Structure 1
Amino acid sequence: MILLATLICILASLILTPVVKKAALRLGAVDQPDHRKVHKQTMPRLGGLAIYVSFIIGLFLVVPHHSTIIWILAGSLIIIVTGMIDDIKELSSKYKLIGQVAAACLVIIGGLDIDFINLPFGGQLAFGFWSFPITLLWLVGMTNAINLIDGLDGLAAGVSTIALVTISFMAFLQGDPFVFAMAIICIASTLGFLFYNFYPAKIFMGDTGALFLGYIIAVLSLLGYKNVTFISFIIPIIILGVPISDTIFAIIRRIIHKKPITSPDKAHLHHCLLNMGFSHRQAVLTIYSIAVMFSVAAILFSITTLWGSIMIIALVLISIELFAEVLGLAGAEYRPLISLMRRWQLTNDRVK
């Protein structure tokens, strides 16, 4: 049944995307080119609506009963409505945040929260009152993270698909049919849209799609790893390494330059790759490759020993920092690790 539902979701997305494109043009849900954007012509957005409708079709076909399904659907509806209004009328960041918080709160009320984690060296860390704000921060943060990387044709859809494939694989290994089925139908719905969205794109997913994918990925990652060991809790963070690291360095960059955290700029990962001379397609495929490496690291992280996991996370963090400094993700002057390595090299040269 899951194979049939997957095919139906792909076909539904392939059929619905051109319909949504026409509707977007009629409604004025278009993205105009400007100095901060890469595209050079007016593009219809709202493509995320095709992903969402296809996802809902698949949901009713294969997803088994789960205690939080009604709450997840209610939250997703708020996210979709928020994204659609923004794609048509351009909401302020304040009202978009209200919609995201409302959706996250519904899911938390429905029972999806991080109550505790088992520590690697014994004992348990119970969050108590902090369970609600920690879960809320995760859900809202990840919902926005996917939106932040949605800057090139096919980028957000592709990175989301890679993350969802990893989540579905981990769910399969853990014997979690609910998370597995949800991830698979979301992958299928996104792939159908990606056919029209990969470079050169015919339609953008808009905030409707980026917020929805971020929301679903955040929810599924928590469903698969809540209330487990500290090591397992790290897995979804590694899987979502591309959007999380890009978001973190965007915040660092804006703090360094004394700009509001929510202010847009043209220094995200994809912008940096383009500035280095990568073509549009090369930049997207490079980020896909990075996302795959994060996914492989997450899988290795889940099956190795405790000390092996610590070594992997250390290697991942060092690699992210070096990569960010070389590309200038936090600004050209932000190079603490490279500066430290240079000083260490100078010291060694003097000793010799």
Structure 2
Amino acid sequence: MATYGFAWGLALAIALVATPLVKELALRIGAVDVPNARKVHRGVMPRLGGLAIYLSFVVGFLLFVPKTPIAWGIFLGGSVIALVGALDDRYQLSPKAKLLGQLVAAFVVVAFGLRVTFINLPFDDGFSIGWLLSIPVTILWIVAVTNAVNLIDGLDGLAAGVSAIATATLLVVSLLMGNTFVALLCAVLLGATMGFLVFNFHPAKIFMGDTGALFLGFQLAVLSIMGFKQVTLFSYVIPMLLLGVPLSDTFFAIVRRKLNKKPISAADKSHLHHCLLSLGLSHRGAVLTIYAISALFGLSAVLLYQAQTVLWVATMLVAVLVIALQLGAEVLGLIGYKHKPLLRFLRRVRTRVQELMIAGVRHSRTNGWR
């Protein structure tokens, strides 16, 4: 356990030292974030803060992580994605250019041997998939998670905090599984992210930019594959829970835009943090609320890992989570204020129950009078 502590502590210390230096660099080269109608902050802010996370991760990786082929793939792929993010923070790359960079980073780690090769099913033993299918499935997961983390980077400390909670949960589950390799990578990534968060929490002194959001998303995507590809039963539900906040926010954004007949790539102000702010929460209050939601997802992931051998318990847990997720999305308006099928159903059930209760009372009074 001492090794994990040293890895975490060193990455944390480097991030604490590197972040102010990166801030000065960002201001000097013009890597700044200018406010607009969609953004919450009002002044020009330095970004590129993810470079501090990347540098801290690199040092921790070189000192503590065993240098297997997949490890080098993670290192090189992470370097590619960090470079793409840094270029975007400075020069504002087009969406196509950023997507191309994400695909290249994903191809790199796949080329070094990281692939989803087995699909586990809840009520079956699952089945193996060939390399023709495993490659696109792996790349799709990496790109999807990378962009999901990037999309939630809308408030001070939000993406960094949610990523830290997801990483910490993955660290715990990896230790329970005895997966020391993934646990070491998580310890380094957690330390780097927490060190940066000191300067990024509200009121932020620096933004992580795409350098940090893309890098954290990439690492979480890769680590979730490595941590659970050998687990049976609900193995692919667990990483989804670990990344519950960014993945669900992205999913509801896609559904919302489809229902409103808008392009999937169209920007709006109906993400989770926007909805919480519209309810009257403060900037810090909205972030802390999302931290709590992310922690609940993480706890659910740990519970599901522990309960996955008991089929009915795991199934019930997943069902409750799905219903709670849908209900929360409708209450907050993540899908849109016109699309609330579960709430309408519950209201009809409540109305029907009330009608039956009133009818029962009337019937009892009538019989009693007679």
TM-score interval (norm. to shorter)? over 0.9
Question: Which residue matches 1:239?
Answer: 242
TM-score by length of 2: 0.93
* Percent sequence identity over aligned pairs: 50
**1:273 has 2:276 as partner:** yes
Contact 1:17 1:47 in 2 (8 A): yes
Question: Which residue matches 1:64?
Answer: 66
- 1:163, distance to aligned residue in structure 2 (A): 0.2
Larger-Rg structure: 2
Contact 2:4 2:183 in 1 (8 A): no
**1:319 has 2:321 as partner:** no
- 1:179, distance to aligned residue in structure 2 (A): 0.3
Matches of 1:118 and 1:268 in 2, distance apart? 31
- 1:227, distance to aligned residue in structure 2 (A): 4.0
Q: Which of 65, 76, 86 is the equivalent residue of 1:84?
A: 86
Contact 2:77 2:105 in 1 (8 A): yes
Matches of 2:300 and 2:231 in 1, distance apart? 19
SS in 2 for 1:232: coil
Question: Which residue matches 1:220?
Answer: 223
Matches of 2:346 and 2:52 in 1, distance apart? 49
Question: Which residue matches 1:32?
Answer: 34
What are the equivalent positions in structure 2 for 1:135-284 lying under 5 Å apart? 135-284=138-287
Q: Which amino acid aligns with 2:340?
A: R
Contact 1:163 1:295 in 2 (8 A): yes
Question: Which residue matches 1:298?
Answer: 301
- 1:131, distance to aligned residue in structure 2 (A): 1.5
Which shifted more, 283-292 or 334-343? 334-343
Matches of 2:145 and 2:123 in 1, distance apart? 29
**1:52 has 2:54 as partner:** yes
Contact 1:10 1:188 in 2 (8 A): yes
Contact 2:125 2:233 in 1 (8 A): no
Question: Which residue matches 1:100?
Answer: 102
Matched length: 352
Consecutive unaligned residues in structure 1, runs of 5 or more? none
Matches of 2:120 and 2:204 in 1, distance apart? 45
Which shifted more, 58-67 or 2-11? 2-11
Q: Which of 303, 306, 313 is the equivalent residue of 1:308?
A: 313
TM-score by length of 1: 0.97
Contact 1:64 1:177 in 2 (8 A): no
Question: Which residue matches 1:123?
Answer: 125
- 1:203, distance to aligned residue in structure 2 (A): 0.1
Deviations 1:115-167 (A, max 9, x none): 11343434332232321221111100000111111011000000000000010
Q: Which of 326, 339, 344 is the equivalent residue of 1:339?
A: 344
Deviations 1:316-352 (A, max 9, x none): 1111111110110111111010111122233334444
Matches of 1:227 and 1:180 in 2, distance apart? 15
Contact 1:241 1:294 in 2 (8 A): yes
Contact 2:7 2:184 in 1 (8 A): no
Matches of 2:348 and 2:68 in 1, distance apart? 56
Deviations 1:285-332 (A, max 9, x none): 000000000011111111111111111111111111111101101111
What are the equivalent positions in structure 2 for 1:16-27 lying under 5 Å apart? 16-27=18-29
Contact 2:120 2:235 in 1 (8 A): no
- 1:60, distance to aligned residue in structure 2 (A): 1.1
Matches of 1:239 and 1:341 in 2, distance apart? 29
Contact 1:114 1:227 in 2 (8 A): no
Q: Which amino acid aligns with 1:327?
A: L
SS in 2 for 1:231: coil
CA RMSD, Structure 1 to Structure 2 (Å): 1.2
Distance change (3 Å), C-alpha of 1:4 and 1:303: closer
Contact 2:7 2:187 in 1 (8 A): no
Which shifted more, 99-108 or 228-237? 228-237
SS in 2 for 1:267: coil
Matches of 2:19 and 2:67 in 1, distance apart? 29
Q: Which amino acid aligns with 1:146?
A: V
Q: Which of 99, 105, 111 is the equivalent residue of 1:109?
A: 111
Distance change (3 Å), C-alpha of 1:230 and 1:130: farther
Question: Which residue matches 1:73?
Answer: 75
- 1:258, distance to aligned residue in structure 2 (A): 1.6
Matches of 1:117 and 1:208 in 2, distance apart? 32
